[in-house]
Every structure is written in C-alpha cells, then in structure tokens.
Amino acid sequence: MKYCIIVPDGMADWPIAELGNKTPLEAARTPNMDFISLNGRLGLVHTIPAGMPPGSDVANLSVIGYDPRKSYTGRAPLEAASMGLAMAPEHWAFRCNLITVDGDLLADYCAGHISTKEADELVKFLQERLAPRFVTFHTGVSFRQIMIYAGPERMDAETTPPHDIMGQRFKDYLPHGNGAQLLQRLILGSREMLASHPVNTVRIDLKENPANMIWLWGQGQAPRLAKFADRYRKTGAVISAVDLVKGIGHCIGWDVIDVPGATGELDTNYAGKAQKAIEALQSHDLVFIHIEAPDSAGHDGDAKGKVQAIERVDAEIVGPLLEALKQFGKFRILVMPDHLTPVAKRTHVAEPVPFAIYGEAVRSNRQFAFTEANARESDLKIEQGHTLMEYFLAT
C-alpha cells in the first residue's frame, strides 16, 4: 500500500466578495480534488487544539499525526532542525523574520518576500555587527531566518507573529517577559543598522520593500518527537520549500527531499514537487507534499493569486499523483489544508478544515465537491486532528 498526503498550506478560506462571495477553493477549478472528494470520504477536522495558536507548526504536527499538546515546543526549533543547527537542551531558537517597518507601523512581515541571497547578506551583517555573546543568526529561506540563544537566561518571553500585526504599531507588540530586554535590544538595534545597508538601498531604488528590521518570535527549545516509523510502522518522505515542515520531517525520521525551484511562493515548482513525490513513492510507504503558495497569497491578501495557486496544485500536483498512484495497485491519497488563512484577515484562524480521502477500501460517504461548505455538511467530523493520520492509514 502506498500513501500520499498533499497539503496546500492555508488553502481554506472565507467567502470573498471579489470572487462572487465564493471562497478561493470554491472559485478555483479543481477537478482532481473534486474527484477525490466525490469518490472518497469528505470530512472536517480540527487541526488546532483549543487554546493553542493557529500556526502552521501546530497544524502540521496534527496532520502528520502528533498531538501538539504533548509534542509542541515552539516553531523555531523545528526550523532549526531542518537547517541542521545543533541545539543543546538549554538552548533557545527564535524565528527571525526580515520585515519592513514604516515609521511606527509594521508594514510587511516578509520584506517583499526578499530573496535568500539578499537575506544571507543581511544575516551575516547582523551576526558581525549586532549579535552579542551567546547569540548567533542563521540564514534560512527568503525572509525566514533563525536566531539561536545559547546563554544562561530563560527566554520564554511572550512574542507575536509579525503576520498577525501588519499595519499596527510594532512597539505595542515587542516581546515582554523572560528575556525580553535582550530581544527588544536586538529588534530595535537592527533597525538602526539595516536602514542604510546597501541591500536595502537597492531595494528602495527598485521600489521594493526594504528589510529594515528583524522580528523575533516563535521561540522554543529542542523538540522531542518519536520516529514516525516506530509510531505508525511506515516509512516516509517529505517535500516542502519551508524549513518548518522539513524540520518536522527531519525530527520524525522522514527523508527530506529538496526540489529545485521550490520557493514557498506562488512561483514555486509545482510540477517538480509532483515528480519528486512520484519518485519517492518507489522507495517509501508514505510521501507528504506541502505547498506554501496558497498560504502566502492569503497573507498577502491576494484572492486571485490564491485561486491561481490552488488551481496549479490541483493540475500539477494532485492530478499527476492520482495517475501515478495507479501503478502501485493499492493506494490512498489525502488532500487537505493545515489551517485557514483568510484573505480578508491575512493571517491564520483556528477553524476546522476540510479533508478528502480516496483509495483502497475507502467508501464514499456523500457526493460532494471539495469545498469548505460541503465539508461542514459531511457526516465525518474529527475533533482531534492528530487522530486523522491513524484513520487515514487504517481506513
């Protein structure tokens, strides 16, 4: 038996006037997702446990079959694991976004989706000029960097994701609590250093958002996750452009497969991800394909871009995988977002998400296309998201 899970990150949404009061998923042409839903099981699942933040870290842990209430130690440590950064038990990892501020306002959580090459230059500059003892900055992908704190202080300050506060006064959301003094000093100090950096001078000349400050958030200590093969008796591989999802895969013992041209944005290499997934199914029981593009469009408030991303996922990933899976005889395929990223809100919300399963021994429950509204009408509701994996593997 072969298993395939496709996660278009943040795909679920609310109705949008611009799209005729349809959600992007309803507005998009998705014949392959609809085939899975119409011929398989359509349901609704809560991926965010009550009281936990609706981030991709918590949500993807649930999708992959791990209870975030027991296994979650923070977002940044998972990204650090993907980057091969060693963390002692007492160390703290922080997500370090390169952001754009305009006066007192946080204008852009991703500095115009700055390139990794530009980001690397800025990170090295910050390491040389800003980093005090016990602090190291590490380049990730695009605007997503990591800071490691290896000092004696406890660093569990209260922090805020930058994509939650765009257009608001950033000083109202600076870290507070244990370690906040150092974090605030680094954040505010970075603004003084980055404002006139040549990378930003060029970006301003090109009318692109400058990366004129860092934002520290999502901290935690080293994760402790059981290996997937020990827990579910299946081998696995993960394909994603973002360090968070690759980090989860690394921690649970999956093979992490890189795809040339996978950017985590609307221009990602959709077809390349599908081809690598098909190749991985030859040697693995389960392949997990994560696509960041719908989430990115949601954060940007780009309804049409989100529709386009969903359609490309359907045509260039879901369709080819459905066809390729036939060669293996017995298979099951699961398609679902990890959480909602409504275009109107431009950040994540903790509502349940639709999912659809098709394949060996999966009986259709009702003839429904794959949409949020139809999932809410389904007779299949899963309250604890981490149990979906067991259901998928055992159906």
**What's the whole-number average pLDDT of the chain?**
96
pLDDT in tens, 148-162: 999 999 999 999 999
For range 296-308, the mean pLDDT: 96
- Chain position carrying tokens 């370090």: 96
Residue 367 binned pLDDT confidence (cut-offs 50, 70, 90): confident
Residues 354 and 232 in one domain: yes
Residue 196: other Cβ atoms inside 10 A: 10
Q: Domain span at residue 264?
A: 2-72+225-394
The whole-model pTM stands at 0.88
**Would you state the pLDDT for residue 107?**
97
pLDDT at 224: 85
- Give the Cβ contact number of residue 36 at 10 Å: 25
- Contact call for residues 293 and 264 (beta carbons, < 8 A): yes
pLDDT band at 385 (very low <50, low <70, confident <90, very high): very high
| H-helix segments, 3-115 | 24-27, 31-39, 56-64, 68-71, 75-82
Q: Average pLDDT, stretch 368-372?
A: 96
- Domain boundary among the residues 187, 220, 253 is at 220
| CATH assignment at residue 55 | 3.40.720.10
pLDDT per residue over 190-207, tens digit each?
999 999 999 999 999 999
Note whether 45 and 105 are same-domain residues.
Answer: no
246 and 308 in a single domain? The answer is yes
More confident residue, 366 or 260: 260
Neighbours of 19 (CB within 10 A): 18
**pLDDT given for residue 395 in this prediction:** 63
Q: Describe the crossing of helices 75-82 and 243-251 by its angle, rounded to 10 degrees.
A: 80
Strand partners, 148: 93, 136
Instruction: List the one residue out of 77, 101, 79 whose CA is nearest residue 91.
Output: 77
Q: Are residues 235 and 382 in the same domain?
A: yes
Q: How many CB atoms lie within 10 A of CB 393?
A: 17
Q: Is residue 29 part of a domain?
A: yes
The answer on 170 and 202 residing in a single domain is yes
Q: Given a cut of 80, is residue 366 above it in pLDDT?
A: no
Count of structural domains within the chain = 2
pLDDT in tens, 247-294: 999 999 999 999 999 998 899 999 999 999 999 999 999 999 999 999
Residue 369, phi then psi, degrees to nearest 5: -70, 165
Alpha carbons 122 and 51: distance in angstroms, whole number: 36
The dihedral over CA atoms of 312, 317, 320, 323, expressed in degrees to the nearest 10, equals -120
* DSSP state letter for 285: S
**pLDDT value at 383 more than 90:** yes
Residue 280 has phi, psi (to 5 degrees) of -65, -30
- Whether residues 99 and 182 share a domain: the answer is yes
What tokens were used for 9? 């990150």
Report if residue 87 sits inside a domain: no
The 3-state DSSP class for residue 341 equals coil
Residues 378 and 277 in one domain: yes
Query: How many CB atoms are located within 10 Å of the residue 368 CB?
Result: 19
What local confidence, expressed as pLDDT, does residue 30 receive? 98
